[in-house]
Amino acid sequence: MHDEVSSARHISLQEQAAPKRAGAILAALILAAVVCKLNIAAGPVALPAIGEVFGSSQAMLNLVSIGAPFGLAMSVLYFGALADRYGRKQVLTIGLVLIIVASALSAIAPTIELLILARVFTGLAAGMVFPTTLALITALWADGSGRKSAIALWGAVAGMASIAGAVIAGAILAMLPWNASFLSSIPLALIAIVIIVRSVPSHVKESAEPVDHLGGVLSTLGIAALVLSIGFCFTPGGLTVGVSLLIAAVVLLGLFAWRQTRATNPLYDLKIAKQRMFWAPAVSGFIVFGALSGAVFISVQFMQNVLHYSALQAGLAVLPAALGLLVAAPFAARILGSKGTRATMLLGYILLALAFLTMLLWREETPYWLIAIGFILIGSAVSLVSTASSSALTSTTPVDRVGMASGTTDLQNDLGASIMQSLLGAVLATGFATAAAALISDSTRASEVTNDMMLALQSSFASAAHVASQNPDVANGILEGARQALVYGSFSAFLLGAGAVVLGFIVVIFAVPSRAEERASTEKRTQAS
């Protein structure tokens, strides 16, 4: 009798367009996603304060910034599969509890190294949460306008949280020490846990197949090696380690791909992934999310160190991106429904290209209106592309493997963020060091600069500011030189970001299926089911 009741309940959930208590469930899932985004967004805004407290190099600050998205990116595929098999609601709840623990550890970290580890732990916990929220939306809402609207709202609010996190962190830093910024999401996590336990149904459309644990380990280690290799390759003196990690990443990811072609129940079904309606939107979204994270990462440092903004002002300065996300969200769903995936993505990429064009114009005297325009454009672009990409991935993937689609969405978001922040951060650090060295060599007092001072001046803006505080007679000159060096480094980083946008635009034009091809593919899947 119990089995019959459970079966009837399962069928009922499958047939209904939306679950019972849909509003509470969607609010809880979005809130859980917001918790992840707030934790990730707290890092970049706090970097100047962290650098001042720990006297850290730009390379170490980069690791603090990418720690959370790095941890999420390396674990998201494996944890998504575990949730599909063992219970999405259960994995989601455990992940939120671990985020609370990780946030507390970040706040009490006594050294920069332990802070980096705590941030990675935060990302690993988020890897249990963020993909599961999208997987539950896909499982609980039937394919159609309701699911598209739910995904659009989920993506828009999560994107806005990435921006709001910068504002919240800035407001906290204006009143409290740097470590308090990592505690802001804890109350929201507690609220999300309560609603999820009470409202979200368990074991809906989940897989009964065993998890490919070997594939999960290979993907986790491979992605970790890939992201770390980028950071080390561009770090002075880190080329050997970076190349070694890159070779390890190629080997591990190659073994992962080989494993997926032979495993009975692959973690990542390459038959699905090789479809144009899957991999092309995935790559396009990867670049867009990476561009957003990289732009915010560079911008908050630029605004605080070059334009003399406070942490709160820098956080408020990126709010126009949230406005762009909010305004574009309803239009994104409509354009997607009427024009299709490719047209929606192309419009997003055009706006993204314009955003980076404005950022390439930033200098020491840049007015705020130019900064605001750039962030409005980038927010609108992310809303358009993320809605189209998430919808394409979830509609292409069978419901019992939806963890693969949600995991890919998170890879776009967090692997894109990790790689682009690593690349742009490395270019920023290299550009800063190069410009600082040139300014020092051209100085009339170059002979007075010791080797230790040279290393400190080239390490980061925070380190250069520390040298300035110890040499008050030349402090103004040191700080002005550091600002010029940061302008040069930021320009180089934004130029690299613009190049990535061009690459993504090409992928959308030539690889994403046309509207007619998309409709034919949808009809074929409908007939097959």
Which residue type is seen at 31? Answer: L
Backbone dihedral angles phi then psi of residue 477, each to the nearest 5 degrees: -65, -40
User: Which pair of structure tokens corresponds to residue 491?
Assistant: 């320009």
Stretch 144-152: mean pLDDT, rounded?
A: 77
Q: Give the Cα separation of 288 and 244 in Å (integer).
A: 28
Report angle CA 324, 327, 328 to the nearest 5 degrees. Answer: 80
Q: What is the pLDDT of residue 361?
A: 92
Contact between residue 33 and residue 130 where contact means Cβ atoms under 8 Å apart = yes
Q: Give the Cα separation of 521 and 510 in Å (integer).
A: 17
Q: Give the count of beta carbons closer than 10 Å to the beta carbon of residue 529.
A: 8
List, for residues 164-215, the tens digit of each pLDDT value: 787 888 888 888 888 888 888 899 999 999 999 988 887 776 666 788 889 9
Contact between residue 298 and residue 424 where contact means Cβ atoms under 8 Å apart = yes
Stretch 286-292: mean pLDDT, rounded?
A: 85
Architecture of domain 20-200+267-441+479-524: Up-down Bundle (1.20)
Q: Give the Cα separation of 82 and 218 in Å (integer).
A: 15
At 14, the pLDDT band (50, 70, 90 cuts) reads: very low
Q: Give the Cα separation of 345 and 228 in Å (integer).
A: 30
Which residue type is seen at 302? Answer: F
What average pLDDT is seen over the chain? 82
At 13, the pLDDT band (50, 70, 90 cuts) reads: very low
Q: At what angle do helices 368-396 and 402-410 cross, to 10 degrees?
A: 160
**What is the H or E stretch that residue 518 is in?**
helix 515-528
At 109, the pLDDT band (50, 70, 90 cuts) reads: very high
Query: What is residue 370's DSSP assignment?
Result: H
Stretch 142-154: mean pLDDT, rounded?
A: 77
Beta strands in 355-495 (DSSP E): none
Which residue type is seen at 181? Answer: S
Contacts of 459 (CB under 8 A, 6+ apart): 57, 58, 433
Q: Give the Cα separation of 80 and 243 in Å (integer).
A: 30
Query: What is residue 411's DSSP assignment?
Result: I
List, for residues 20-40, the tens digit of each pLDDT value: 787 888 999 999 999 998 888
Q: Could you tell me how far CA 268 lies from the centroid of its own chain? A: 20
Q: Give the Cα separation of 315 and 173 in Å (integer).
A: 10
List, for residues 294-351, the tens digit of each pLDDT value: 888 888 888 988 888 887 888 888 889 888 888 888 888 888 888 888 999 999 999 9
Say whether pLDDT at 15 is over 90.
no
Distances in Å between the Cα of 510 and the Cα atoms of 50, 135, 281, 504 are: 44, 29, 11, 10
Stretch 477-490: mean pLDDT, rounded?
A: 74
Q: Give the Cα separation of 253 and 402 in Å (integer).
A: 22
Q: Please spell the DSSP secondary structure of 289-316, one letter per residue.
A: HHHHHHHHHHHHHHHHHTS---HHHHHH
Backbone dihedral angles phi then psi of residue 111, each to the nearest 5 degrees: -135, 160
